[in-house]
Structure 1
Amino acid sequence: MKPAEANSLIGRTMRQSMRRAVRMPAALARGLFGAPVRNDRGAPLDLQTHIMLKIIEAGGTPRLEELGAEQARTIFRRTNQGFDITSRPMHAVDERSCPGPDCALPVRIYRPHPTSARRPAACVFYHGGGFVIGCLDSYDGFCRALAERAGCVVISVDYRLAPEHVFPAAVHDCVAAFRWVREHADALDIDPERIAVAGDSAGANLAAVVCQQQFIDQQTAPFYQLLIYPKVDSSAAYLSHELFGEGFFLTRALITWFSSTYMADADAFDPRLSPLLFKELHALPPAMIITAGFDPLRDEGEAYAKRLTSAGVAVSHRSFDELIHGFISLGGVIDAAQRAVDDIAVEFGRALGA
């Protein structure tokens, strides 16, 4: 059996087992695990998510920050593939590469089935993983869902990771990838006027920074930015860091490991690390910002939405109060996560005019 086939089999087995477990009767779940907690705003944690977290806790899953980067990447990829949305058929999926500042960057292009004769909008997607873990395969299910439901071509970028390549390598890669897509819009058969950026967590940081760098370098801005539970401020502490820093998938310890590994000796006040501190927010493209009610990054994502709005940028802020960080990769197991992904993708498609 080839490695890709083995990983697919592992993923399907994980997904099927967890799907069955989180669908136990509510009374049984409460008897085994207690009632779901409520956050500081009174919202209850989604019951299926509550069950999943308790099962993971009981299973003694290794903490990623205690592993080396390579082992953490393997576990993250397998977990995402196991819990992610079931793979959706595309019109085409192409493996390509684009030139980066120091090396070629792998990209994966997802083309949904065409619904009109005009060229489709496109989205350059940057995956999450704290700038240390994550890859094209980790987000394959989500990218397919986004392409299908939004009706746009999704170009997923495999940028370089720390500790092998610390800040600002990922920034340089992501800017280069966006510019390559713009320059090759005709060859990629996409609408050059409707090229957006998107990402989740660390990838949302990179998407936001690409928008800012395009302004700084007097280059054409992305048409739109989709920022899913973004990491946008490494310079300050937020209440949500403390409230949800343990027991909700993304922990304070993991955030600290990611930050120290990626940032090295860089200044946390550099807007390329903390895009919330960018001085020219008024110049940025319209944004859709997604936050989750039980996410350590909730408050900084909300703060960025407010700052953009105050600067005159059109912002759609969607809060999924019952969900946790990483929910876009849980749609194969958690019903509320699947609904959230569909809602996000449909609204994103409307914003792109798809």
Structure 2
Amino acid sequence: MKPTPEMIRAARADAPKTRARDLAASLGITEAELCAAFVGAGATRIAAHPDALIPRLAAFGPLMALTRNESCVIEKVGVYDGYRPGPHAALVVHEEIDLRIFPRHWVHGFALEEEGPAGPKRSLQIFDAAGEAVHKIYLRPESDAGAWAPLLADLRLADQGAALDLAPRAAPEAPRAAPERRAELIAGWEALTDTHQFLRLCARLKMNRLGAYRLAGAPYARRLAPGAVERLLAQAAEIAVPIMVFVGNQGMIEIHTGPIKRVVEMGPWINVLDPGFDFHLRTDHIAEVYRVVKNTARGPAHSVEVFDADGGLIAQIFGVLKAGEGAVSAWNALVAGLPEAEGAAVLEGAQ
């Protein structure tokens, strides 16, 4: 039996510093249900669709954008400007806030006002049909709080009840490959002119990303040894090479572009703690890491891509092709120097 809203609020009062995700898990509920328990007591249900929400955010000035999956969190500070709507995919393209949005997964929305040690803590939180967090937006001290009340007035839903209609959580897709179509995969891989074409190639061949990497093997995808990501981040910070970090879930991909400076290991977490950019990756969730090369019109794109034990994509790290020949060469050399996994075979796991 799930806890009542009163029980949930009492649990939050007893553990005010516990992260929402951890508190929800301890109560056997989703984060969306945790928010819903506070409707009328600091939470307001709002329209969740990005077309309604995102264009309103530029009025706040700087905000903190947070996207996560089970194993990784990315946080960026900047202005939500340059919104480009689309029925299947929408974009925010700005120097700091760079997002790829998948609107059909923006189902439940909440505006939260919580008391904090420095005053009210305001956030806008979006969840998918299963109640899993898609994206969170936090006001900063420098944000224009005057935009808060007009946003709530315009986006507030008529239904302000605590009950949520949640769908079952989708099971993760296992690695999927078609060994008999490897020649087609390689031919299509060789013909790529843009990295975005790769998933269309996989779909046409009835494969997914990890299945295709396992099947293709070297020189297209090489499995790396444990510790490769930690080494990659430390060395990227040391030589100040610009990188692109992609972290996402089914409803959102958030991107950082630029050099990184401060890399810190804390228990199972490897962290980048830079002004305006935080990145947190649970290394004990990493099951497979690949060095991947895909052709583009600007030249080969070299990436390091991280997967969990279910075959889910945790994060991708690329070089910045537009950063210039020197930066690209430095990135490619860094990636090429990462140690490969022992005994990695071309057709490993593809059966």
**TM-score scaled to structure 2, two decimals?**
0.25
Bigger Rg over Cα: 2
Structure 1 or 2: larger strand share? Answer: 2
